[in-house]
Amino acid sequence: MPLASLQLEYPITRNFPGRTFSYATFAGAGVVLLFLALVNAVLGGYETVPNFDSNFNVTQNHWFDKLLPRAAKPKPGTLCDPRLFGLGDAVMTNYTMFPYVVSVIDSANAGDAGFAYRGGTLDSCDITSLFVNGNTNTFMIDFTALVKCRADAAQIEQKNNFEITLRADWSESYLLGAQKTLRNFQAGASNRSSDARATVLNTLMGASGHEFADRIFQMLILSNRTTPQLISFEADFPWCPASLGPAAPCGTQSPPLKINGMFEWLGNGSTVQAFSGDLLTNDTEGIVSNMVQAVYAAVRLDLGNPAPSNFLLQPALIPSVILSTFPETYPPKNGVALPTKSYLYSALMNDGYFSGLTNGTYDIPGLLPLTVPGPAVLDGVYLCRFTRAKSPGSAVVAVLVGTLSMFGAVWGIWLTLATMWVKRRDAGANACQDHVQMMPRPTSPDEKSRFMDV
């Protein structure tokens, strides 16, 4: 195109035919303007702010929620980012009874070796193994419990497949200079908040450890140091999570005592190690059984498992699960007698025997049965994105800018479409209004063609 032909142009306008169309357009424009103002009040009148919340499934309610379609309504678990765990990261359940660390990630759901936790319940978790090391030389009993967690069917369907192992480590010590475990602090806090779980747990571990140590000490003296002064063993349990239901056979019966490995260091310096067969003797079977059953019941409670075989939830089962007496395998000598009554059983029944030995008060029957208020979850804090209203000035500017820009686009599109429609219906619609009024209406096809050229 030659430069000389470049000219600025301006459109020649004319009225749309009839008043009905104009009135309807202006009325529709008002409705559209109000609708766009409402839309921009939602889109531009609010801002997203990060915040922390301990509930992954937290939701927000706004005045415009009822106007949204069902697919757009807020859903639990959409506001927060999952919490990412790696090997060695510390976790606790909301029951706060045992400290855990992520020991093994068999199947990762975050990258190659990460576990993304989205606030799901621990119904698919259960204790599978317990390792105990009792050493009279250090006055210490060390515990390690392994908990296996697997994705349930719903999580697998949502492509959230995982399998991890949690490890809980704690110790019982009779040395006054030893640092107290988390359970002791929790017990004090729980007493103040009328929560009996930690108090019962502290008594369980203390009584079972006390009877374990006392019997080992006395046997060393009475046997002329031919019995163990160090006992290390592994106990395994069937995986029976709460997701199997309360009627599952493994949940209605207490697990049998299954020791898969034991090491003993005798007082005379010799050692005994075995991995199969009957690994327990009359000297140690009772104290080992009571300790294993106590830890098993406590860990399952910490996982929120309401299994009816848990004696902490069903105190009537205590006599059938916890041994009340042990055999007298060595006769008394020089004023030293082998403990034959169970400290743990005494504390649970509050018959006065254990409290008399320790000058303590153990009203455990008054705290039982313990309750499982609901499924356990991993305790944690999540980074969430909440929406809040902008300041009045910012909100007005955002709504006005958004509304006017959208309305201008809609108005331009509507006028373009309306003009195209009118031009198709009226051959003279392409001429200016005054010109059309001065020209006679065409009657023949040739006149219409010339009229269109004008």
Per-residue pLDDT of 98-118, as tens digits, reads 999 999 999 998 888 899 999
Please check the confidence at residue 39 and state whether its pLDDT lies above 80: yes
Average pLDDT over residues 263-274: 89
Instruction: Answer yes or no: do 105 and 151 share one domain.
Output: yes
Instruction: Answer yes or no: do 399 and 340 share one domain.
Output: no
Separation of alpha carbons 426 and 377, rounded Å: 72
> Is residue 407 one of the residues assigned to a domain?
yes
> Is residue 88 one of the residues assigned to a domain?
yes
Contact 343, 210 (CB under 8 A): yes
Which of left, alpha, beta for 371 (phi over 0: left; psi -120 to 50: alpha)?
beta
Please check the confidence at residue 245 and state whether its pLDDT lies above 90: no
Instruction: Answer yes or no: do 191 and 329 share one domain.
Output: yes
> Is residue 207 one of the residues assigned to a domain?
yes
Instruction: Answer yes or no: do 394 and 378 share one domain.
Output: no
pLDDT of amino acid 433: 56
Instruction: Answer yes or no: do 142 and 87 share one domain.
Output: yes
Q: Answer with the residue of higher pLDDT: 434 or 333.
A: 333
pLDDT digits (tens, 9 = 90+) for 213-244: 899 999 988 988 888 999 999 999 999 999 99
Instruction: Answer yes or no: do 195 and 256 share one domain.
Output: yes
* Number of structural domains found in the chain: 2
Instruction: Answer yes or no: do 276 and 417 share one domain.
Output: no
pLDDT digits (tens, 9 = 90+) for 279-304: 788 888 999 999 999 999 999 999 99
> Is residue 165 one of the residues assigned to a domain?
yes
Instruction: Answer yes or no: do 251 and 334 share one domain.
Output: yes
Name the nearest CA neighbour of 159 among 121, 102, 118: 118
| Domain containing residue 429 | 18-45+390-453
Instruction: Answer yes or no: do 142 and 201 share one domain.
Output: yes
Instruction: Answer yes or no: do 306 and 426 share one domain.
Output: no
> Is residue 123 one of the residues assigned to a domain?
yes
Q: Provide the whole-model pTM.
A: 0.78
Q: Answer with the residue of higher pLDDT: 413 or 246.
A: 413
Instruction: Answer yes or no: do 323 and 396 share one domain.
Output: no
Separation of alpha carbons 201 and 97, rounded Å: 8
Average pLDDT over residues 348-360: 84
Which residue, 382, 413, 438, sits at the end of a domain?
382
* Angle, vertex CA 314, rays to CA 310 and CA 317, nearest 5: 80
Instruction: Answer yes or no: do 220 and 272 share one domain.
Output: yes
